[in-house]
Amino acid sequence: MFSVTVRDHVMIAHSLRGEVFGPAQRLHGATYVVDATFSRAELDSDDIVVDIGWATEALRGVLADLNYRNLDEVPELAGRNTTTEVLARLIADRLASRVEGGGLGDSASGLARIAVTLRESHIAWASYERSL
């Protein structure tokens, strides 16, 4: 199995609902350093997993919808708890849509899996992995 990972980041404000979150129930914020990993069993005809330029652009595009925002006020996130885990899945799902829509090139149809890791500090991170 081959994989390629690209890294970017996003800076957001949000609050979390549930006693388990303690002080994180207050409006606060985070920088998420985001790693998006694309995997496939065999390389494409250019000997790559995915065009790294397009992968970088796709990740940047997905993050642009979140960047420098208060997630509590983003309509499509209304009523959802924007935990690191939920955001990892959201980003992975949106990347998957771009792959399926052809946004990462024709050969990206051979991708098997996407994994997204959000590092919220030097001591904590969360991941979500799904098939394509």
Q: Binders of its own copies among 26-85, rule CB under 8 A?
A: 26-33, 43, 46-49, 51-53, 56, 67-70, 80-81, 83-85
Smallest separation (angstroms) from its own copies to the CB of 14: 7
Sequence-distant (≥ 6) Cβ neighbours of residue 21 within 8 angstroms = none
> Measuring CA to CA, how many Å separate 64 from each of 10, 14, 69?
8, 16, 10
Contact 25, 17 (CB under 8 A): yes
Residue placing its CB nearer to its own copies in the complex, 76 or 122: 122
Task: Compose the 86-115 pattern: x for residues touching its own copies by CB under 8 A, - for all others.
Answer: x-xx---------------x----------
Residue placing its CB nearer to its own copies in the complex, 63 or 97: 63
Residue 14, both tokens: 């949000």
Widest pairwise Cα distance in the chain: 51
Smallest separation (angstroms) from its own copies to the CB of 97: 19
Query: Strand, helix or coil at 51?
Result: coil
Contact 103, 96 (CB under 8 A): no
**26 exposed, middle or buried (CB, 10 Å; 0-12, 13-18, 19+)?**
exposed
Smallest separation (angstroms) from its own copies to the CB of 114: 12
- For its own copies, the binding residues (CB under 8 A) are 1-9, 11-14, 18, 20-24, 26-33, 43, 46-49, 51-53, 56, 67-70, 80-81, 83-86, 88-89, 105, 120-130
